[in-house]
């Protein structure tokens, strides 16, 4: 299947290339690779992938638009931060959080993005977010509406779908009634077993990814169905797809069943987070896209859930 045949959009996050950018590839070469593997959506991290962030030059912005248009890529999600520990000795205020979010919303709009993920500072091991988030986001809902951007905080391991974090987001959405706020689901929450990640070429990397809370509940994919009406974006997190196009860590057939059955037509944006080694991301991304396309094609032919015959 080509991406156009899929019932949802298939994209890639440039975060996948973390160990290649500046080592084996430039940002521009990574963007070209996203198009080459057949994806049509492009996700970035504002601070990490925009030259001279937060004030890129007019020349850089023009080149960005020319490149994405030439390659047939749609800017999907802009990753931003509300770093509540940014200032030594004190927390970020709601005013500062709102100002930071507004800055990134405007830059995301300039670059043509439709979704913005604010990575908000947390206050607990299960990723409860800093209390300033509600005021900072609410004060920007009108701006988001004016720019036609959906603000979508990320549900990321070890947060589970049935958790106080998600409840707080859903209560906020219900209270504000905003169509410009929704959930971003990181498929790593459905991880079947811990991935033994190795390596790390980046000198700034802290730790090896092995630090985990003592116990994290298994999250059944069936929980996803409960929040699909509020889900606006997927980061299709994965770690390893083998030579036989088998992913032993993320249950893609079950995930795609829920996604398709819900009528979701948004983006699945691949986020490779396996071994920290150069050259692996381009190959692994191609494998994952082949796996997703294969599952979707099988389902389209049989008309049955993708996991009915095998996992």
pLDDT category of residue 5 using cuts at 50, 70 and 90: confident
Tell me the C-alpha to C-alpha distance, in Å, between residue 294 and each of 6, 182, 300. 10, 29, 10
DSSP assignments along 10-47, one per residue = EEEEGGGGTTTBTTTB-HHHHHHHHHHTT--EEEEEHH
Read off the pLDDT of residues 140-189 as tens digits, 9 standing for 90 and up.
999 999 999 999 999 998 889 999 999 999 999 999 999 999 999 999 99
pTM score: 0.91
Q: Which are the contacts of 288, defined by CB distance < 8 A and separation ≥ 6?
A: 236, 238, 241, 247, 270, 272
Q: Is 289 a catalytic residue?
A: no
The alpha helices in 131-251, defined as continuous H runs, are 133-138, 141-147, 164-176, 222-227
DSSP assignments along 59-82, one per residue = HHHHHHHHHHHHHT-EEEEEEEEE
SS3 content of the chain, % helix, strand, coil (to 5): 40, 15, 45
DSSP assignments along 99-127, one per residue = HHHHHHHHHHHHTT-SEEEEEE-BSSTT-
User: Which run of H or of E encompasses 281?
Assistant: helix 280-302
How far apart (Å, rounded) are the C-alpha atoms in residues 289 and 310?
19
Active-site residue (options: 156, 180, 275, 289): 156
Give 81's strand partners. 119
Q: What is the pLDDT of residue 216?
A: 63
Read off the pLDDT of residues 199-243 as tens digits, 9 standing for 90 and up.
754 444 445 545 555 466 789 999 999 999 999 999 999 999 999
Read off the pLDDT of residues 278-302 as tens digits, 9 standing for 90 and up.
999 999 999 999 999 999 999 887 7
């Amino acid at each position: 299947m080509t991406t156009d045949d899929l019932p949802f959009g298939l994209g890639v996050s440039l975060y996948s290339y973390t160990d290649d950018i500046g080592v084996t590839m430039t940002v521009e070469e990574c963007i070209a690779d996203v198009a080459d593997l057949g994806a049509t959506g492009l996700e970035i991290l504002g601070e990490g992938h925009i030259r001279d962030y937060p004030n890129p030059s007019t020349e850089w912005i023009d080149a960005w638009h020319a490149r994405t248009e030439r390659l047939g890529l749609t800017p999907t999600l802009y990753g931003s931060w509300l770093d509540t520990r940014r200032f030594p000795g004190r927390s970020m205020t709601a005013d500062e959080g709102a100002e930071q979010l507004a800055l990134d919303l405007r830059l995301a709009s300039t670059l043509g993005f439709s979704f913005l993920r604010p990575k908000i500072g947390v206050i607990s091991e299960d990723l409860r977010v800093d209390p300033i988030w509600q005021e900072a986001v609410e004060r920007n809902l009108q701006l988001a509406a004016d720019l036609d951007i959906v603000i979508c905080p990320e549900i990321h391991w070890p947060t589970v779908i049935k958790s106080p974090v998600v409840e707080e987001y859903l209560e906020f959405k219900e209270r504000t009634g905003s169509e410009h706020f929704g959930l971003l689901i990181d498929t790593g929450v459905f991880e079947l077993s811990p991935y033994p990640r190795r390596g790390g070429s980046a000198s700034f990397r802290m730790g090896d990814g092995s630090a985990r809370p003592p116990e994290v509940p298994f999250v059944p994919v069936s929980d996803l169905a409960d929040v699909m009406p509020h889900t606006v974006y997927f980061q299709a997190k994965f770690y390893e797809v083998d030579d036989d196009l088998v992913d032993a860590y993320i249950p893609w057939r079950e995930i795609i069943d829920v996604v398709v059955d819900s009528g979701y037509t948004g983006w699945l944006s691949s986020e490779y987070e396996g071994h920290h080694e150069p050259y692996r991301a381009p190959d692994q991304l191609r494998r994952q896209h082949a796996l997703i396309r294969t599952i979707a094609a099988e389902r389209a032919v049989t008309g049955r859930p993708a996991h009915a015959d095998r996992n």
